[in-house]
Structure 1
Amino acid sequence: MSILEKILVEKEKEIAQLKTNGIKEFPLIKHNIPSIKQTFPSSVAMNVIAEIKRASPSKGAIDLDVNPAEQAKNYAALGAGAISILTDRTFFKGSMDDLYEVREACNLPLLCKDFFIDPIQIDQAKAAGANIILLIVAAMSEDQLKQMYTYAKGFDLDVLCEVHNESEMESALKLGADIIGINNRNLKTFNVNLSVTETLAPMVKKRDRGSDPLSQLPLLIGESGIKSRVDVERLAKADVSGILVGETLMLSDDLQVTFQHLQVPRMKGSIPNAR
C-alpha cells in the first residue's frame, strides 16, 4: 500500500468521526482577503506560498514545536503571498487549531493543506479560516473531484487542484480548475523531481479553450523539492506564477536570506497573463 493510500484509509476514519461528532466550531474572524488569482499574476517576483509543516511521512519530524502564529508572522513580514498550513494530524502532526491560530495572526490567504475526500472536511476548513483548499486529483475519481470542487467554490473558497502526471493534468483542465498545483513529488514513492513541472506546465498553454480563445489560463503553482534559487529559476522558466515551499523554510537558519533566494524575477508573459 502506498503512503497516499495509507493516508486515505486514515482519512475515512477521521471523516466518520467528524460526521459523528460534528465539526469543531471556531470564533468567526472576518478579513477582506484577496484571492491569489488576483494578486499572483501582477507580481514582479516569484510568489511564495510559505508552508507551516511540523512533520512528513518521508522526513519524519521537521519542527514539532513550531509556533504557527509566529511562523506565519515571519513569513508575512518577508513577503509571502499566501500561507499553507498542513492540518493532517496522523502523518504530518498538524491540526485545524494550527490553521485557526494562523488565521488570527495574519491577513494573508490561507491554504488548508490536507487530504480532502468528503465535503464535511471542507466545512471544517472553512470554519477554521481557510481561503484555499487542496484537492489532489490522484485521491479521487473525476466525479468525486467535480463534486468537491463545486462544493468548495460554493463556499467562495479557492481550490488548488494538485496534479502529478499528464493524466491528472488532463483531468484538472477538463474540470476547468483555475489554480493548478504541479507536485514534483511522486505520491507513491515520495521521490522528488523538478522535471515534473517542466513536463506538465506546457500542457496548460496547449489546452483547448473552446469558443473563447481569450479565456484566462489557470494560475500555475510549482510544489515540492524547491531548495535553492536555481530550483526557482527552473520553475520560473516553466511559467509558474508561484511556488509552495515547506521544508526549506521550516529548516532555514535565516528566513530572510532564504526568501531572497526564492523570490526570483518571474518570466515575462507568464501563463496567467497569456492571451
Structure 2
Amino acid sequence: MNILDKIVADKLREVSLKKSIFPVEQLENSILFQRNPVSLADKLRNSSSGIIAEHKRRSPSKQVINHDLNVQDVASGYQDAGVCGMSVLTDGKYFGGSLEDLLYARAVVEMPVLRKDFMIDDYQILEAKAFGADVVLLIAAVLPTEELKRLATFARNLGMDVLLEVHDLEELENSIEANVDMIGVNNRNLKTFEVSIQNSKDLSRHIPDEFVKVSESGISDPKVIAELKDYGYQGFLVGENFMRTEDPGKAAKDFINQINRKS
C-alpha cells in the first residue's frame, strides 16, 4: 500500500467510528450548520492575490512543520494579511489536525474556510458544515468518479463550495463533469511526494474556464504566482511556506505585498 491507500483505509475506520458516536441529527442541529457559507470561488475571482493560506502542523512527507502555534492566532494573522480564504487540515493521524481546529478558525474569521481532509462519505461533509466550513475538498485520486460526483452535489446542495483536486490529466478527464466550483491541480505527486509547478502549467489548458483554477503545493515564491496567472490560475494554496515561520500571518502579508508589487 502507498501512503494514500493507508490514509484512506484509516479514514474509513475513523468515519465508521464517528458515525456510531455522533449521529447525523446532532450535526444537523448544531448552530453553525444553519449559517450561510461564504463562497471561496467568488473571493478568488475578485482577488488580486488569490492566496488560500493553510494551517498545517505536519505532513507525511515533511513530518513536523509547526506545532508551536495555536490555530486562532494563525487564522487571525491570515485574515489581517488579506488572504482570500483559509485551508484547515482536519486529519489527525497524518497531519496533526482536528475538527476543533476548524471550529477555532471559524470563531475568529469571516473569510471562507476550507475543510481539507480525505473526504469519502456524506457524513464528513455534514461535519464540515457543522464545524463552520464554507468549502470542502474532494480528491479525485481517492474517490471513484460517480462517488465524487455524488459527494460534490451533496455539498453544493448544502450551499458549500467544492474544490476538486486532481494530479494528472486522467483524473481531470474522469471528474470534469462533477458539480464543483474550483479545480485544484496538486503539484505534489501523492505517491512519490515530488513537487513540480510544471504540473499546473501542463494541465491548465485542459481545465474549462467555467471553473476557478487553483494551483496547490510547492508555491514559495511570488514570482511563481505571476507565472501561473498567465496560465489562467486565480487561486494559490500556500501552506508550508507560511507555517514554517514563527508568524504565518506576517509571512502571508509580506508574500501578498510582493505579489501586488509585481502585478
Query: Normalising by structure 1, what TM-score?
Result: 0.87
In structure 1, the partner of 2:227 is: 234
List gaps (5 residues or longer) in structure 2. none
Contact preservation (8 Å) 1:236, 1:267: no
- Whether the 8 Å contact between 1:236 and 1:266 is mirrored in structure 2 is no
RMSD: 2.2
Q: Mark the runs of 5 or more structure 1 residues left unpaired by the alignment.
A: 206-215, 269-275
Taking the TM superposition and a 5 Å limit, the aligned residue runs for 1:198-237 are 198-205=201-208, 217-237=210-230
Q: Distance in 1 between matches of 2:239 and 2:135?
A: 17
In 2, the alpha carbon distance for the partners of 1:149 and 1:258 equals 30
Secondary structure of 1:168's aligned partner: helix
- Mapped partners of 2:68, 2:117: distance in 1: 20
Compute the displacement of 1:15 (Å).
1.1
Of residues 16, 19, 34, the one that matches 2:38 is 34
Distance 1:14 1:73, change over 3 A: same
2:240 to 235, 238, 247: 247
Partners of 1:129 and 1:38 lie apart in 2 by 18
TM-score by length of 2: 0.90
Return the offset for 1:247.
0.4
Q: Any conservation in 2 of the 1:137–1:145 contact (CA below 8 Å)?
A: yes
Q: Does 1:166 align with 2:160?
A: no
Q: Determine the C-alpha separation between the residues in 2 that align with 1:257 and 1:119.
A: 35
Corresponding residue for 1:181? 184
* Mean CA deviation greater in 251-260 or 130-139: 251-260
Residue-by-residue CA offset, 1:14-35 (whole Å, 9 max, x unaligned): 0110121125759524766531
Partner secondary structure for residue 176 of structure 2: helix
Residues 123 and 106 (structure 1), Cα distance of their counterparts in 2 relative to 1, 3 Å cut = same
Contact 1:237 1:267 in 2 (8 A): no
Displacement of 1:177: 2.7
Q: Which residue of 1 aligns with 2:196?
A: 193
Partner of 1:210: none
Contact 1:228 1:262 in 2 (8 A): no
Contact 1:72 1:105 in 2 (8 A): yes
The runs of 4+ residues in structure 1 deviating greater than 4 Å are 23-27, 29-33, 265-268
Provide the rounded CA distance (Å) in 2 between the counterparts of 1:124 and 1:32: 15
Aligned to 1:259: 253
